[in-house]
Amino acid sequence: MSSAINKEFIKKKLMQTWSKVLNSNEIVDNRDFFSLGGDSMNAISILTDIYTSFNIRISLEEFLMNRTLQEQVEIIYLKLHDITEI
C-alpha cells in the first residue's frame, strides 16, 4: 500500500485534515501550525487522523518539532517508505 502513496497524495490528505481541524481554508505549506490557530488538542486530533489515514505513528514531540504542513508531509513520506534520514 505505502509504495503507491506519493508526497502529493499525502499533502492533499494532510491539507484536508488541517483544514478540518483548524476550521480554515487558508492552509499553506510553510505556515506554522500555531500561527494558524492550532493548539495541543488540535495537534492530537491531527496525529490521530494521520494514524487512521496512513497507519503510522508520529509522536507529539515530532509534531512540535515539525510544525509546517510540508515538514509533516516529509515525515509521513519517510515513515511510510521506511526511510531513515542520513
Q: Which 3-state string (H, E, C) describes the chain?
A: CHHHCCHHHHHHHHHHHHHHHHCCCCCCCCCECHHHCCCHHHHHHHHHHHHHHHCCCCCHHHHHHCCEHHHHHHHHHHHHCCCCCC
Residue 58 Cα to chain centre, angstroms = 9
- Is the confidence at residue 15, as pLDDT, over 90? yes
Fold for 2-80, please state it.
1.10.1200
- Is the confidence at residue 3, as pLDDT, over 60? no
pTM of the model: 0.87
Model pLDDT, residue 58:
96
Label residue 82 by pLDDT band (50, 70, 90): confident
Label residue 85 by pLDDT band (50, 70, 90): low
Model pLDDT, residue 2:
45
Break the chain into its structural domains and give their ranges: 2-80
